[in-house]
A = this chain, B = another copy of it.
């Protein structure tokens, strides 16, 4: 039934390639099927003004799509002179999700920048970004621990994310672009390693959805995120 031939509760092929680039403290190329996002974690000394002197750290995220990561070219945001609403919404989601994974008081007055740049898009770029950025973040924490800049690991636990949706009246897991662009309902879910929810963002693109459908979608998401977090652990050698 699905364009890709996958079962309704089947993820696309997942991979997390660590150390994809050389300069960042954490650098991961995450692939959810054909969706490929380069996620880097950069550590900078200092915090934004509203946190100065409070002895804690900060984490923020930025998101971008290369102009031709998509089927047809989209204008470069740097050249248009501003980031669009979708971009800002996504990078706020990534930042919020990963701040939930971190005990900022263990970071010292440092800022972590998570940059998620989409090299190739095929649906689910925001959930791939969150999942990949989490691995990059772990590598950055390891770097801080190994260089003795911090003593305690600030990580509360891994965080994973996936999209689910109603495609041709059937709830399915991990929508690719062919499904996403036709889905009646689209839901992005972020969860912790411990099974708690960080974010649920469900949206009816066409007909409204029922509470029952919402429930089924959350069940699919739980299953998918469970597998994603296992893949993160494998990639980290845990």
Contacts and interface: CB of A to CB of B under 8 A. Distances in A.
Given A82-B82, A200-B202, A113 B73 contact: yes
Contacts of A91: 85
A70 B120 contact: no
A201 to B, nearest CB: 5
Interface in A94-112: 96, 100
Interface of A: 21-24, 27, 34, 36, 38, 40, 42, 44, 62, 64, 66-73, 76-79, 81-89, 91-92, 96, 100, 113, 115, 117, 119-121, 187, 191-192, 194, 196-204, 207-211, 214-215, 218, 222
Among A79, A92, A201, residue most surrounded by chain B Cβ atoms (within 10 Å): A79
Contacts of A210: 196-197
Nearest to A85: B88
B76 A115 contact: yes
Contact of A27 (B36, B68, B72, B196): B68
